[in-house]
Structure 1
Amino acid sequence: MGKMEFHTDITRQRKALDPCFEPCPIERGMRVIGGKWTGSILWHLKDHPVRFNDLARQLGGASKKVLNDRLKQMEENKLIKREVISTKPFAVCYEITDFGRTALDFLEALKDWSLEHRI
C-alpha cells in the first residue's frame, strides 16, 4: 500500500467514525464562547454591569488591548452589550445579554468541575 493510499484509507476510517465534516455543535459553540477571557468576562458580568477599567482590574492577566478586542468580539456575538456612560472622560460599561446568560449554567458546571478535580 502506497503512502497516499494509506493516508486516504485512514481519512476514510476517521470520517466513518466521526461524521463531523462541517463544524459540529461543539466547535460552533467554542467559536462563540471558547476564546480566552470570554468565560471569565461573562462570569464577572453575571451580577451587574461593569465598567471597562474595573473589568480590566478584575481579570488581571489580560492587557487592555486584548480585553478590548475580546469585548468587541463578544458584543458582535451578542453575548454582551456596551453602553457609553460618559464622553468626558470617556467611559463605557458592559452588561451581559439574555443570550450571554444562557452560557452561565455550563460556566457554573465548568467551575464546579475545575474545583472538584483541583485544576
Structure 2
Amino acid sequence: MEVCPVEVAVSVLGGTWKLTVVKHLLEGTLRFGELSKLLAGANRKTLTRQLRELEEDGIVHREVYPEVPPKVEYSLTELGQSLAPVVEVMNEWGAVYGKQSTA
C-alpha cells in the first residue's frame, strides 16, 4: 500500500508548536530561552519534546556548547530550510483565513 505524502508531512510536522518553531528558526539560530519567549503559550516540557522530535526527524540541529551553565542553540538543517516555501504559504493562508473568520 502506498503511503500518502501528506500523512508523512503531518507525522513529522504535526505538533502544536513544530511549524511555529520552524518559522522562527527560518530567521536564524535561537537558544531555548529565546524560542520559549517567542512561543509564550508553549510550556517548556512540550517545547523540549517537539524540538527533540524535530531533531530526530532531521529538521532541527541542536548544538550544545561545553559551558557552565550549558549553552544550547537550535538551527534548521538543510532539510529544515527546505520548509521555507511551505511555511510561507501557510503563513499567507493563515492571514487570509484569520481575516475571513473575524469578518
Q: TM-score, normalised by structure 1?
A: 0.77
**Alignment match, 1:42:** 22
1:64, distance to aligned residue in structure 2 (A):
0.7
Identify the structure with bigger relative contact order (alpha carbons < 8 Å, sequence gap 6+).
Answer: 2
User: Which among 75, 80, 92 is matched to residue 95 of structure 1?
Assistant: 75
Amino acid in structure 1 at the alignment position of 2:58: K
1:85, distance to aligned residue in structure 2 (A):
2.7
User: Which among 12, 16, 32 is matched to residue 32 of structure 1?
Assistant: 12
Q: TM-score, normalised by structure 2?
A: 0.88
Give the SS at the match of 2:15.
Answer: coil
Any gaps of 5 or more consecutive residues in structure 2? none
**Alignment match, 1:80:** 60
Q: Mapping of 1:1-119 within 5 angstroms?
A: 23-118=3-98
Deviations 1:64-101 (A, max 9, x none): 11111101100000001001134310120000111001
- Which of the two has higher C-alpha Rg? 1
Sequence identity of aligned pairs in percent? 31
> Is the Cα contact below 8 Å between 1:86 and 1:92 reproduced in 2?
no
Structure 1: which 4+ aligned runs deviate by more than 3 Å?
A: none
The CA RMSD measured in Å over matched residues stands at: 1.4
